[in-house]
Homo-oligomer: A and B are copies of this chain.
Amino acid sequence: MSESVKPGPLEGVKILDLTSMISGPIATMMLADQGADVIKVEPLTGDLVRYLGPRRGKLTSSFISANRSKRSLAINLKTETGIKVLKQLVKSADVFVQNFRPGAIERMGLSEAVVRGIKADIVYVSISGFGETGPYANKRVYDPVIQALSGLAAIQSDRESGRPRMVRTIIPDKTTAVTAAQAITAALFSRERTGEGQHVKLAMLDTMVAYLWPEGMAGFTFVGGEVSSARAQLAQDLIFETTNGYITAGAVSDSEWEGMCKAFDREEWLQDDRFATAAGRVAHAEIRLSMAAEVIRDHSSEYWLERLDAEGVPCAPVLSRKEVLEHEQILGNEILQEFEDPVAGTYRQPRPAAIFSETPARLRSHAPQLGENSIAVLREAEFEEEQIAALKGAGVIGTHSH
């Protein structure tokens, strides 16, 4: 990864990032890709994510994918000296982010009041699982707990048995990350105009209720006019098995339905009153989908995608994870890029999704080894070489060199 040619949109923003695991780190990674200088503040043992998932050369895939483009400062914040050093770094920071359980950051001596006392206009960010009060406030949070409480597991329920089901990717963690990145950016924009920093708080539970609401909870929008969730649920499982795989295809408008019947060679379905209108097709979705499934199972995915495409019916193959990497649209968009890492070898990362014409977001640097940038970060904060050596000798900071 070469040095940035053009600065990103958040160039010049310095972020002290005390978060660990997923929701905080992915939020600050998005900002780092956009040019912010994110200093990942880690305990001497490192963020736990350093030890989760497939690994190579001391780096795990999950750590890389949540911490690229950052610098790592390893520091023991359980010591008074460690706290003192961190306070020195606060002086030049624009953003301070933490996702400890409520109360912990205050006990560490780094409350908003303390931090703002050092840097008056800092954006101070607290990410939590459940918010700061209430019966769950002090519980440990895992992604499935939020899936269970937010209604996501209910939305994913098995249609036949009604048994709730988890979504098998950590939606609450990652959605909280993107939402936090937006909120931090909005607070930075506001500070640019008003000169004032503020405290931004975000709970995973709140994030998921807001995120699921628009259609996931559509039946509960009208007070006194609640409708059953099944009726209010727009999403359907539009997956059909072919002779050699799976495809998705959907017909919402009249012209799409006509196209689908033609592609299926079942133009007689156009005479079926049940399916004559969009509303009718929704009301009779179950039988319609099973009729479609019966037709589709007789030919290959390629056969059907070509016919459906020709008739203007939205459709796509259902790709396996491996196929995602090789699909022509994904290759064409250059979403996945390969990087040479000094310790982990060549790895793949998706580029930041949003493309900025003038201030490109991009992978700025490899994911750091634990404490890889401790010395550089302290030098920038005007610590003397002897002080740095003393801090290292006393075990307050950790350093790493390959």
Contacts and interface: CB of A to CB of B under 8 A. Distances in A.
A248 B148 contact: yes
Contacts of A238: 144, 166
A224 interface: yes
B211 A178 contact: yes
A186 B185 contact: yes
A84 interface: no
Given A163-B241, A169-B212, A186-B10, A221 B65 contact: yes
A9 interface: yes
B350 A250 contact: no
Interface residues of A, number: 151
A88 interface: no
A203 B353 contact: yes
B359 A215 contact: no
A108 interface: no
Given A178-B175, A221-B347, A324-B151, A355 B200 contact: yes
A336 interface: yes
A188 interface: yes
Contacts of A225: 54, 56, 345
A393 interface: no
Contact of A332 (B131, B198, B213): B131
A198 B357 CA distance: 6
**Chain copies in the assembly?**
2
A315 interface: yes
Contact of A54 (B202, B222, B332): B222
Interface string A185-203: 1111110111010111111
26 contacts: A9-B190, A22-B214, A62-B215, A131-B332, A134-B333, A139-B314, A142-B252, A148-B246, A148-B317, A149-B327, A153-B246, A154-B318, A157-B168, A168-B237, A178-B178, A180-B354, A185-B185, A185-B186, A187-B356, A202-B353, A209-B350, A209-B353, A220-B322, A222-B347, A223-B347, A226-B322
B350 A210 contact: yes
A1 interface: no
Given A62-B234, A205-B330, 8 more contacts: A148-B318, A149-B329, A155-B168, A174-B214, A189-B192, A213-B349, A220-B321, A226-B322
